[in-house]
Structure 1
Amino acid sequence: MQKAGGKVYLIGAGPGAADLITVRGARILAQAEVVLHDALVTSDMLELCPQAVKISVGKRSGQRSAAQSHINEQILSCAQQYGIVVRLKGGDPMLFGRADEELVAMEQAGIRYAIVPGITTAVAAAASARQPLTKRGIARSVAFFTSSTAPGENADTRIPDCDTLIQYMGGKEATLTAQRLLGLGYAVDLPVIVIENCSRSNERILRLNLGDLEQGLSASEGPVLVMIGEAMRARKQPS
């Protein structure tokens, strides 16, 4: 199939703060003619592309958003109209970013594309909490998982077998996750860190344990990441 004239860039915007996007991502944004962005992309981030036409395509977990098939159609349409098209996704496009569906659509249409990775929220959250995800002698493995599903899709109830567990979009599923872990024999006092709106001005960090998490989390106004494991235990501070 003959390739379309425009090129699409899938760019990871990172966890939220505009200065956490990669240099490559910012450079391409500054050249973009049109930007199709998720709901979680901040206004500060969009100031990096004042010259571009901006199209919000929703995609916020737990809320009504644009259907993925419609987003795919918008990407293909923009690639026929513009030379440099950016699909801007929160975090990293290759992790819980529905990138596969968009890549398939572009490949079937013969559209040229490139992928620019972004800082995934788990790494930024570990930095904000000053709590490494791995720790010598304690945590040698890390698993990223989510219980969030598309409408009509069955939730995956499996819990990864890893030293440090990172649950994306974990706010509403916090109680169920804790119950499953406790049912598997995890300790009630296992450390938990919950981060809401990671890297943003309204970031909130909560230090809990698995027993607390079982009681649920208060309603949040932004994305929530839950980090579970012995590596999350607070370090002893010098007296």
Structure 2
Amino acid sequence: MNTTTGKVTLLSAGPGDVDLLTLKAVKALAAADVVLLDDLANPDIVTLAPQARVIRVGKRGGCRSTPQAFIERLMRRYALKGLHVVRVKGGEALLFGRAGEELATLREAGIAVDIVNGISSGFAAAAGLGMSLTHRRHCHGVSFVTAHTEDHGEPDWAALAATRTTLAIYMGMRRIDSIAAALLAHLPAATPAAVVQWAGGSDERRLLTRLDRLAADALGAGFGSPAVILVGDAVGESAEAPWWERENRGEQGRDSLPAPVIARAA
């Protein structure tokens, strides 16, 4: 047995399309001895690590999941045996990926850690909608927020609405009713809103609507997790948005949007 301490790579697998992996990610997978595969990562990613032992460590909101403490013990155990462990995370590891907890555990054990960045589902959702998250005509930034907090509390929606940034809300489908209601107390009813399920994957579904109909339209169309909710005027610049063109022609505005726009990946 190799008694030299190995290392761990926290690898961001992106939103699902293997083609969106970075070259650095592909090289790390090729060198892996052990792959800990997240449930939201494309399972085909294991073909890039043909010599590695693959352990599935699924974590899904509202579903049966592998305990975080167990995942951290696995990383530590194999790295201390001198192996190269690649922890594959869906999306971007540093954005709502519990990377902070894993980094602390590994550093405490004296284990070297590499971080490979990837594309977060929030960016993939915007790409699918054909919009900029930071369109300067409508906002001066974007706020990434999770609706699934550790203490099961709610973010400060009033403060977030006051930023006038595009809101990219992760893990919010189970609370979409309360999220929409909270934001409606501080934003106009006609604020553009969207839900993108399985962003960046072959099964991607997109819904474009307005804030006061967000919950009803999303749930009525059968949207669920994993999904990203986008709220803000920049969403109205989506390639699938019908109301801005009517406004620019001086016709009825977005208050008369007749129905939500639902689309699938091409």
TM-score (norm 2): 0.82
Which consecutive segments of 4 or more residues in structure 1 shift more than 4 A?
219-222
- Gap change, CA 1:154 and 1:5, over 3 Å in 2: same
* 1:34–1:82 CA contact under 8 A, matched in 2: no
| Alpha-carbon shift at residue 82 of structure 1 (Å) | 4.5
Distance 1:174 1:193 in 2: 12
Which residue is 1:53 aligned to? 53
Which residue is 1:154 aligned to? 152
**Structure 1 residue 8 and structure 2 residue 8: aligned?**
yes
* 2:173–2:225 CA contact under 8 A, matched in 1: no
- For structure 1, which segment, 25-34 or 74-83, has the greater mean C-alpha deviation from structure 2 after superposition? 74-83
Distance 1:93 1:67 in 2: 17
Distance 1:25 1:52 in 2: 14
Q: After superposition, give the CA deviation of every residue in 1:31-66 in whole Å (9 maximum; x if it has no partner).
A: 111101111111222222222111111111221211
Q: After superposition, give the CA deviation of every residue in 1:197-231 in whole Å (9 maximum; x if it has no partner).
A: 11111110001110111436334464110010000
What secondary structure sits across from 1:166 in the alignment? strand
Structure ID, larger Rg:
2
What secondary structure sits across from 2:61 in the alignment? coil
Question: After the TM superposition, which residues 73-152 of structure 1 pair with which residues of structure 2 at under 5 Å, given as runs?
Answer: 73-150=73-150
- Gap change, CA 1:100 and 1:116, over 3 Å in 2: same
Distance 2:156 2:65 in 1: 26
* 1:125–1:199 CA contact under 8 A, matched in 2: yes
One-letter code of the match for 1:229? Answer: G
Of all paired residues, the percent bearing the same amino acid is: 37
- Gap change, CA 1:149 and 1:209, over 3 Å in 2: same
| Alpha-carbon shift at residue 4 of structure 1 (Å) | 5.3
Which segments of 5 or more consecutive residues in structure 1 lack a partner in the other structure?
Answer: none
Q: 2:245 aligns with which of 233, 236, 239?
A: 236
One-letter code of the match for 2:189? Answer: V
What secondary structure sits across from 2:27 in the alignment? helix
Distance 1:220 1:178 in 2: 15
Which residue is 2:252 aligned to? none
Which residue is 1:181 aligned to? 183
Distance 1:199 1:68 in 2: 26
- Gap change, CA 1:26 and 1:222, over 3 Å in 2: farther
Distance 2:102 2:225 in 1: 25
* 2:189–2:211 CA contact under 8 A, matched in 1: yes
* 2:195–2:230 CA contact under 8 A, matched in 1: yes
Which segments of 5 or more consecutive residues in structure 2 lack a partner in the other structure?
Answer: 250-266
- For structure 1, which segment, 109-118 or 158-167, has the greater mean C-alpha deviation from structure 2 after superposition? 158-167
One-letter code of the match for 1:25? Answer: A
* 2:195–2:207 CA contact under 8 A, matched in 1: yes
Which residue is 1:163 aligned to? 165
- For structure 1, which segment, 80-89 or 24-33, has the greater mean C-alpha deviation from structure 2 after superposition? 80-89
* 2:7–2:85 CA contact under 8 A, matched in 1: yes
